[in-house]
Amino acid sequence: MASALLLLPVLSAAFLIVALGPRGGGASTLRLDIHHRFSATVRRWVESRSGAAVGWPERGTVEYYEALASHDRAIRGRALSDAPPPITFSEGNATLRISSLGFLHYAMVSVGTPSVTFLVALDTGSDLFWVPCDCLSCAPSASMNQRTDFEFSMYSPNMSLTSQKVPCNNNLCELQSECSGATSLCPYKVAYVSADTSSSGTLVEDILYLMTEDARSEVVEARIVFGCGQVQTGSFLDVAAPNGLFGLGMEKISVPSILANSGFTSDSFSICFGRDGIGRISFGDRGSSDQKETPFSVNKVHPTYNISIVGISVGSTATKADFSALVDTGTSFTYFADPAYTQISGAFHAQVQDKRYVPDSRIPFEYCYYMRYGSDKVMSSSLGISSLCSALYTNL
């Protein structure tokens, strides 16, 4: 089955809190070194940084147990109220829409030791996180570098002190049929909806750097499994996600699922894309209690963020509807199938005052308008679209 990643103009503002789908194992191969706050290891670490563990209680003293108890109370208090604090990427919670790279939303993520930072596209329509790695066919970085200020990077398991092999007998390995043996490296290949667009290579395990979003901003090092993308094809070579794709789907291989299954966060995350293209991402965010909710129709075999649309309102026209839709940040504009397409585009056209643009075979949109100066705002507030054209598509 192809994972979603479709490109072209537009995306409206969206705020999404996502609760992850069915859980199944998944955590058994992930490891985390846990050091007690006053352990000898942590003490050595503090001393190596500051010269002396100032204020560090001597083991066995009243102060030591006092400090322990109050720390435990703080932890337990936090657990009772809100579980672990939400976490975000160590490079920051910001997401950014980049027009020259498929109008997708990107974030900076760091992996490995020493860490390497990637500008990755955020995709709720697929599951695997992959980055260019030991490249055989990757986006040509020289021409890419001219299109953004970001320098494109490459990962190599051999260059990371913390990388671990993911063998074929790992339960996150799906392509076991293509393995030569139980302990050979697990291969992966993901085909996306965009024409001839795919990524393939082998799975690898390494550290993803995150930080807590509470006042402490503590670094969280999560061991995750991701794709060492040696061969990319199609859009990944130029217009989209040239430096990696961050799958945010519900399957157990996605980073949100790994974080939840390993106990780093609760099983939800939020992303918010502003109209100016700048947004936020937060893992473990449970939203606010007064927030409106809609259930996902979860297919156990291939769970997706599938929601039911029960009504549509375009400007002043509201009508009932009955269809399902995928919430997919990797699709750069919104698609509707008929009858919804005709309903929405008809209601939209009826309310637009501007002169319609003569259909042009080079433009993949049916409804385009010559816009008066300043009318952009009216249009974007009625459809959540701020481009020249109504980005509606039919017959999917």
**CA nearest 270: which of 258, 280, 278, 259?**
280
Dihedral over Cα of 197, 299, 16, 223: its sign = negative
| Least distance to ligand NAG, CB of residue 256, Å | 16
> Which residues 6+ apart lie within 8 Å of 396 measured at CB?
335, 337
In this chain, which stretch among 203-211, 245-253, 297-305, 339-347 interacts with ligand NAG, using CB under 6 A? 297-305
| Least distance to ligand NAG, CB of residue 59, Å | 36
Pick the closer one to ligand NAG by CB: 9 or 287.
287
Residues 74-93 close enough to bind ligand NAG by CB under 6 A: 92-93
Helix-helix angle 340-351:376-383, to 10 degrees: 150
Query: Rounded distance, CA 248 to CA 310, Å?
Result: 25
> Where on the phi/psi map is residue 27: left (φ > 0), alpha (ψ -120 to 50), or beta?
alpha
Distances (CA, A) of 127 to 86, 163, 393: 20, 21, 25
The reply on whether position 134 binds ligand NAG by CB under 6 A is yes
> Which residues 6+ apart lie within 8 Å of 8 measured at CB?
102, 103, 332, 333, 364, 391
| Least distance to ligand NAG, CB of residue 101, Å | 22
The reply on whether position 127 binds ligand NAG by CB under 6 A is no
| Least distance to ligand NAG, CB of residue 359, Å | 30
Name which position in 304, 329, 387, 390 contacts ligand NAG (CB under 6 A). 304
> Which residues 6+ apart lie within 8 Å of 246 measured at CB?
107, 109, 120, 121, 122, 123, 129, 255
Are 27 and 255 in contact by the 8 Å Cβ rule? The answer is no
Choice among 285, 328, 338, 376 that is catalytic: 328
Active site residue 196: no
Name which position in 143, 299, 319, 342 contacts ligand NAG (CB under 6 A). 299
Pick the closer one to ligand NAG by CB: 307 or 388.
307
Residues 308-337 close enough to bind ligand NAG by CB under 6 A: 324, 326
| Least distance to ligand NAG, CB of residue 111, Å | 16
The reply on whether position 280 binds ligand NAG by CB under 6 A is yes
Pick the closer one to ligand NAG by CB: 201 or 390.
201
Active site residue 123: yes
Query: Rounded distance, CA 201 to CA 154, Å?
Result: 13
| Least distance to ligand NAG, CB of residue 74, Å | 21
Pick the closer one to ligand NAG by CB: 206 or 347.
206
Distances (CA, A) of 226 to 108, 132, 246, 305: 15, 11, 9, 21
The reply on whether position 291 binds ligand NAG by CB under 6 A is no
The reply on whether position 342 binds ligand NAG by CB under 6 A is no
| Least distance to ligand NAG, CB of residue 158, Å | 4
Pick the closer one to ligand NAG by CB: 194 or 282.
282
Torsion angle of alpha carbons 132, 154, 86, 252, nearest 10°? 30
> Which residues 6+ apart lie within 8 Å of 168 measured at CB?
176, 179, 181, 182, 183, 184, 185, 186
> Which residues 6+ apart lie within 8 Å of 43 measured at CB?
53, 56
| Least distance to ligand NAG, CB of residue 161, Å | 13
Tokens of 232: 């990319």
Pick the closer one to ligand NAG by CB: 169 or 306.
306
Dihedral over Cα of 293, 2, 7, 310: its sign = negative
In this chain, which stretch among 45-53, 166-174, 296-304, 331-339 interacts with ligand NAG, using CB under 6 A? 296-304
Residues 91-120 close enough to bind ligand NAG by CB under 6 A: 92-93
Are 53 and 43 in contact by the 8 Å Cβ rule? The answer is yes
Pick the closer one to ligand NAG by CB: 95 or 390.
95
Query: Rounded distance, CA 132 to CA 110, Å?
Result: 13
Choice among 123, 206, 267, 285 that is catalytic: 123
Residues 353-372 close enough to bind ligand NAG by CB under 6 A: none
Q: Is the omega angle on the peptide bond into residue 295 within 30 degrees of 0, that is, cis?
A: no
Residues 243-272 close enough to bind ligand NAG by CB under 6 A: none
Pick the closer one to ligand NAG by CB: 321 or 326.
326
Residues of this chain that bind ligand NAG (CB under 6 A): 92-93, 134, 156, 158, 213, 280, 282, 297, 299, 304, 306, 324, 326
Q: Active-site positions?
A: 123, 328
